[in-house]
Amino acid sequence: MSNVDLADKYDTPVFIVNEDMLRSNIRNLRNSFKHYYDNTELCLAYKANSLLAVAKIADSEGTYADVVSGGELYKTKVLNINPKKVIFNGNNKLR
């Protein structure tokens, strides 16, 4: 299907993600870090990614969720991300 056909079918913007490649990249990145730093966890920055499907795939690959706002935290609740795997990061946090 051409880009024009995709835009006609799904409207724009349309994001195309190769799930197998995404999963492979997550695994390769984790393995590369764990080779040198055994106590390493990967985090997906929700601010840098607004695609819930990508976040769900990343979660299924064992990544943590890095959030900095109530809206990003809400996404983790919508996706049923384990709260123990959510890092509420950033400045201006009272707790």
Q: In b/e form, how buried is each residue of 31-47, taking b as 16+ CB within 10 angstroms? A: eeeeeeeeeeebebebe
Task: Kindly give the confidence (pLDDT) of every residue in the chain, 95 residues in length, as a single tens digit, with 9 standing for 90 and above.
Answer: 888 999 999 999 988 899 999 999 999 999 999 999 999 899 999 999 889 999 999 999 999 999 999 999 999 999 999 999 999 987 666 66
Contact (CB, 8 A) for 58 and 26: yes
Reported pTM:
0.84
For residue 61 the two structure tokens come to 């690959």
